[in-house]
Amino acid sequence: MNPSNPPQAAEYGGDEISAIVLDPGYSTTRAGFAGEDAPKSLIPSYYGKYNADGKEKLIYGDDIFVTPRPGLSIHNPIGRDGIVEDWDMAEKVWEHSFTSRLTGAKSSNPFQNGLNDIPSEELPTEMDVESEEKALADSPLLMTEPGWNPVKAREKTAEIAMEKWGTPAFYMARSGVLAAFASGKASALVVDIGASNISITPVHDGMILKRGVQHSPLGGDYISSQIRALFKKNSPQPITITPHYLISSKTAVEAGQPPQAKYRSFPADKAPDASYRSLLEERTLSEFKECVVQVWPGPNKLAATGSNGMANEEVARTSPGRPFEFPDGYNQLFGVDRFRIVESLFDAKAAIPDPDSPFPAPTPAQTLPELIKASLGGVDVDLRPHLLANVVVTGASSLLYGFTDRLNHELMSIYPGPRVRISAAGNTAERRFGSWIGGSILASLGTFHQMWISKKEYDEHGANIVEKRCK
């Protein structure tokens, strides 16, 4: 691989054009040039909507966080199962991810559309308006997708890339396969802990083993809901997250003391929608995951008793607490409770109950150990030892402190015979961008050249060529 000289450059116009790699997740959308080691563009997958001057306005990217506009509501075009629900908006959010940082706005972008100012009859007739207007007319595009993406969704994605964006060449790859590539493996059992889902993808010789793909909703958003459940039951007092935009000033307080803050309030007709507040609360929850939450490292469940006869909970209790300060200044040490938050990813019974949570109580089949068993159960017996020796951990929620230790213990207790080996990038960016990085590597391989679906092939065969080419 020579990243500075992408193989497709000669074919697509002779200029030095790199393919674009687009990796849309539920929480963030990553985009960048193939051959580079990190995505240049990272935007939230959420978008904002509000009304002004009698018109509906849309906001994309980090701008959604900035101003609590009256009536501003926050939406996600992707559903909780990780599959696109709103195609028009998915197209717009994804388009924003590459036009904002990579390709620059094309004339099709209504926000910065210089051409719109010219009456159409004054447009030069000889100009190829059609190709000028397409956002990706110059760039081959590799997109990632979940292992359980249905055929219809794959075809719809190809249609957007080819017909709306005008990409000259297109390919779709399963994010699990790409995360394996990013770890330098063509065969692996990929464990992805994302925002909407956790998933297990067995990969053999660069191909997804479809019957072994498993996923469940116990991802980062579920973990956030467990933190909220814990906050409600917190002592010495329940914790409310008040985002910064609702605080005008605060004073430092001692740990565990009520916050001393002046709050901002909005009259009903000036207030943003509740979904805006949730989005900002989610930022605090994410920070809390990074700084406080800890996975009981094992061996055995948190609820079990260790070989020395001491309950694991008691052992966890002896480890020093971790402090956290909320936006309103409230702060406290979090003790053994911080281990309870993610225990239900491994032990369904350990879930912290919360009748108000949008997540139903998890079932045993949704936990990681059971998903892994089901996944390996779906692949050829002969392949299992090799997959267990190449477990790749990816996704930002896998950065939880102690996660890989626990996964290792769980795997060794289910599969005491074969050698279990976990590869988890120590570098945070590599863990967060595993599937993007794999796409960056794949699209710049010389041998990948023949895999692209060209515009001509798409026109000849239609969108279902994706199903035939992208295995």
Ligand X SMILES: Nc1ncnc2c1ncn2[C@@H]1O[C@H](COP(=O)(O)OP(=O)(O)OP(=O)(O)O)[C@@H](O)[C@H]1O
Binding interface with Mg ion (CB under 5 A): 25, 194
Interface pick for ligand X out of 7, 32, 82, 243 (rule CB under 6 A)? 82
* Interacting positions 16-75 with ligand X (CB under 6 A): 25-28
Q: Identify each DSSP E strand in 92-221 by its residue range.
A: 141-145, 169-174, 188-193, 198-204, 207-208, 214-216
Angle, CA of 464, 166 and 446, to the nearest 5°: 75
Closest to 341 in 3D by CA, of 384, 274, 295, 401: 295
| Gap between the Cα atoms of 315 and 301, Å rounded | 12
**Structural tokens at position 32:** 């960048």
Within 13 Å, how many C-alpha atoms sit on residue 178's CB side?
Answer: 33
Name the minimum Å distance from CB 25 to ligand X: 2
**All residues at 6 or more sequence positions from 403 whose CB lies less than 8 Å from its CB, including other chains:** 193, 295, 342, 393
For ligand X, give the closer residue by CB, 363 or 428: 428
Name the minimum Å distance from CB 43 to ligand X: 11
For Mg ion, give the closer residue by CB, 25 or 202: 25
Angle, CA of 127, 162 and 209, to the nearest 5°: 165
Name the minimum Å distance from CB 92 to ligand X: 17
For ligand X, give the closer residue by CB, 93 or 453: 93
| Gap between the Cα atoms of 471 and 145, Å rounded | 12
| Gap between the Cα atoms of 378 and 465, Å rounded | 27
**Structural tokens at position 298:** 């094992």
Instruction: Assess whether the previous peptide bond of 146 is cis (omega < 30° from 0).
Output: no
Name the minimum Å distance from CB 143 to ligand X: 13
For ligand X, give the closer residue by CB, 138 or 281: 281
Would you tell me how many other CB atoms lie within 10 Å of the CB of residue 185? 19
* 469: helix, strand or coil: helix
> What binding mask, one character per residue, do residues 415-444 give for ligand X by CB under 6 A, x or -?
-----------------x------------
First to last CA, the chain: 22
* Interacting positions 244-283 with ligand X (CB under 6 A): none
For Mg ion, give the closer residue by CB, 35 or 438: 438
**Structural tokens at position 402:** 């102690």
* Interacting positions 174-203 with ligand X (CB under 6 A): 194-197
Q: Is 140 in the site for ligand X (CB under 6 A)?
A: no
- What backbone torsions phi and psi does residue 73 show, to the nearest 5 degrees? -120, 155
Name the minimum Å distance from CB 201 to ligand X: 12
Name the minimum Å distance from CB 29 to ligand X: 8
For Mg ion, give the closer residue by CB, 194 or 217: 194
Q: Is 220 in the site for ligand X (CB under 6 A)?
A: yes
Name the minimum Å distance from CB 263 to ligand X: 25
* Interacting positions 392-411 with ligand X (CB under 6 A): 395-397, 399-400
For ligand X, give the closer residue by CB, 137 or 293: 293
For ligand X, give the closer residue by CB, 7 or 24: 24
* Interacting positions 290-349 with ligand X (CB under 6 A): 290
Question: Residues in the site for ligand X, rule: CB under 6 A?
Answer: 25-28, 82, 194-197, 219-221, 286, 289-290, 395-397, 399-400, 432
